[in-house]
Structure 1
């Protein structure tokens, strides 16, 4: 069986498409829709953002059940159900005329996207890639940001020309289109069932013995509930930040600029997040996920301070660029930290719980930032909270590392 082939990279490319469908389109581009919909319906921006909140909340809930659904119905069948629900609901959002309709369809869309990411993507990457795992993880998950970077300005212009209604319908069709290869192209979740080994696996007896020894050590690792609880808190708090860039169009409008500048900031954040995700995975392969995560936290803290303190357009663009790093933590960093702290054996059991925290934090964030502005008239409190979260989470990571070191010394 081959351990290095085009099939491995074909699977990775297909997972990139699923990442665009699950997150890049319905999550990363929704910031440009909030203000136009709120103006049309004459309601609060936070009220409109609620359907995005419900999407992310249901995405969080579904992440807990995805491994069980995959075992029962199969990987591709689970993806098909997700594409049908997410794409169909997003298309119907373009016909909505009341908040209750947005909220119902947002809930259905969340169920669909939860069946697509993040859990199925990371499970597929773990199964198909042993070598270059960190790099491939970062590449696949970065396509959620690539989708946002490409389509945020596209949808912003479409909204001005054809309206948000038809733009939402177009998004629904794109969600289906980008996921079709992952459904139609022949492959299996376990590469061995397709006649392949995980990428970079040594097929010799010595290599197989080494791999089995690693799995055995992972199986024997103790899972401290306190340590896992700290990582859960880290994930939840850090994911609270990913809703902030979605409000960049409203933020710049509140300080006297046009929403086009805000859409540009959102696009800049999406583009930079690609680099941060790729860089985080690449650097983690050499220096480890802990050091790379701390470095990214420092960058996010700096960006929050810039956006809180300055109103010059050039500095706002710099702040938006640096804030793109916030997207690399919930997707790439949490995935790699889970495997680092608890091993591959416990990953499938523990990561869905962290994926729940991942989506839950994002769900809270989008509406919370909107309501912060609705009731304070400013986005400054949101940036101040973001700065505090980054400082706290650095302390959380140091605490987890010290606990694991102490346990290893004791053993």
Structure 2
């Protein structure tokens, strides 16, 4: 059977990339726009900034801890079915948040329910693309995950305008409707892997006489393992030293991201800049992020994914270290551009890096497991930064600590690659 792709029939993998783009647009456009809701929600519920960020921390915890369990079920039940479930849960969480009458209800609705819905969408959006691409995995993953940057670019300013016009509660209602439409489209487009699709020549390794597929050159004959056997395979990966280094590295690297995304808008206001300047900087991070994911993701296929990931992580750390010294709108926007490009570069490589280091078998589950690092970072970093501000009246210690942590995390990723190579 020929594997050539007809000019009239593009490779369906790019349609899957579009579906995953929509998924990442939704979950991270929503999650990383929390900073524009922070001040209004803190005022309405009479909470400090540190306490208010608990809702975001719980959401992040559920997003990534839920991904550990969700990944197993996506592997077993399929992406489309699970994405439909995630859409329903996420929309219910947003609707419940809009009518919350107590802070505990916000934590349950926005933190727990919305976070669990996001975890399903997250695993599908990030771990599906490597099943369709190998040679161009960095580029395809970059395009798919560029939805994160596009979501930040669109959702944060849109939410700011909505809040000013109709309040934060009605804004969540509007967002729930938009989410439902976008994820319905993604659900209709998504597929698991190209078991019955023609694959472009050279995309995956080919065995002699076999047809190019994402399973080493031949149609996979591996039967679905029992749940117990699958759990054993996943545990074997999790016990490896390289997995531990990646897990710790991601915790350290992404402290910068969570502190910046949650506290940048209010930090801008604290240093005498307008709230709009902070929201614009957050949106610029999103725009630069999208560009970085596509451009740097493409380059990583030729330069080396681990090398690019570590380099971008280091830039994230160094730029965050410099943030306390930036006191003008121009300087803040310059930081946003550099940080956004660097975060886009390493964000594009999360799933391809996982696949490169630990293989494609049980990829959804393994990716969900290592993503638990985001749960720990997202739960603790914004909260500690908020508490630090409440006590010290400044974000400087938080920015400096996060920047140094990211540099150490980049070194851990390089060490993990060297372990896998031996």
TM-score of the superposed pair, with normalisation by structure 2? 0.86
1:157 correspondence with 2:157: no
CA distance, structure 1, for counterparts of residue 269 and residue 212 of structure 2 = 61
Partner of 2:251: 236
Using the TM superposition, name which of 125-134 and 11-20 deviates more: 125-134
Aligned to 1:48: 52
Deviation by residue 1:344-398 (Cα, 9 ceiling, x = unmatched): 3464453221122123322333333222222221111111012211221233234
Whether the aligned pair in 1 keeps the contact of 2:20 and 2:126 (CA below 8 Å) is no
- Counterpart contact for 1:28–1:145, Cα < 8 Å: no
Which of 183, 188, 194 is the matching residue for 1:191? 194
CA deviations over 1:64-91 (Å, ceiling 9, x no partner): 1123222444322211111111112112
Measure the CA separation in 2 of the matches of 1:213 and 1:69.
Answer: 24
Name 1:299's counterpart in structure 2. Answer: 315
Deviation at 1:201, TM superposition (A): 4.6
Per the alignment, residue 27 of structure 2 pairs with: 22
Post-superposition offset of 1:11: 1.9
Give the alignment of 1:204-353 within 5 angstroms: 205-206=208-209, 208=211, 225-243=240-258, 244-325=260-341, 327-328=343-344, 331-345=347-361, 347-353=363-369
Structure 1 Cα separation of the partners of residues 205 and 411 of structure 2? 39
Query: In 2 relative to 1, CA 10–182 (structure 1 residues): closer, same or farther, beyond 3 Å?
Result: same
Structure 1: 5+ residue runs without aligned partners? none
The 10-residue stretch of structure 1 (284-293 or 328-337) with the greater mean CA deviation from structure 2:
328-337
Partner of 1:113: 118
Give the conservation status (yes or no) of the 8 Å contact 1:306–1:316.
Answer: no
Tell me, yes or no, if the aligned pair for 1:245 and 1:269 is still in contact at 8 Å. no
Report the Cα distance in structure 1 between the residues aligned to 2:180 and 2:333, rounded to whole angstroms: 32
Taking structure 1 as the reference length, what is the TM-score of the superposition? 0.88
1:138 deviation in Å? 0.8
1:81 equivalent in alignment to 2:85: yes
Q: 1:330 to 1:165 in 2, by over 3 A?
A: farther
**Matched residue, 1:68:** 72
Report the Cα distance in structure 2 between the residues aligned to 1:131 and 1:142, rounded to whole angstroms.
19
RMSD value, Cα: 2.7
Deviation string 1:255-307 (CA, Å, 9 cap, x unpaired) is 12221111111111111111222233112101111221232123213311331
211 and 54 in structure 1: CA distance in 2 versus 1, 3 angstrom threshold = closer
Q: 1:234 to 1:3 in 2, by over 3 A?
A: farther
In the superposition, relative to structure 1, how do residues 331 and 149 fare at CA in structure 2: closer, same or farther (>3 Å)? Answer: same
Greater shift in the superposed pair: 280-289 or 235-244 = 235-244
- Structure with more helix by fraction: 1
The CA deviation string for residues 101-130 of structure 1, in whole angstroms up to 9 with x for no partner, is 10010200011000110x222332122223
> How many aligned residue pairs are there?
398
d(CA) in 1 for partners of 2:148 and 2:38?
19
The answer on 1:382 being equivalent to 2:386 is: no
Deviates more, 1:321-330 or 1:377-386: 321-330
2:226 corresponds to: none
Partner Cα separation in structure 1 for residue 297 and residue 373 of structure 2: 21
In the other structure, the counterpart of 2:106 is 102
Match of 2:63 among 50, 59, 65: 59
Secondary structure, in 3 states, of the residue corresponding to 2:145? helix
Pick the aligned partner of 1:146 from 131, 137, 150. Answer: 150
Aligned partner of 1:180 in structure 2 is 184
Q: Is the 8 A contact 2:13 2:129 kept in 1?
A: no
CA distance in 2, matches of 1:144, 1:387: 22
Match of 1:7 among 6, 12, 34: 12
**Distance of aligned partners of 1:192 and 1:35 in 2 relative to their CA distance in 1, 3 Å threshold:** same
Q: Mark the CA change 1:62 to 1:321 in structure 2 (over 3 Å): closer, same or farther.
A: same
The answer for the alignment partner of 2:225 in structure 1 is none
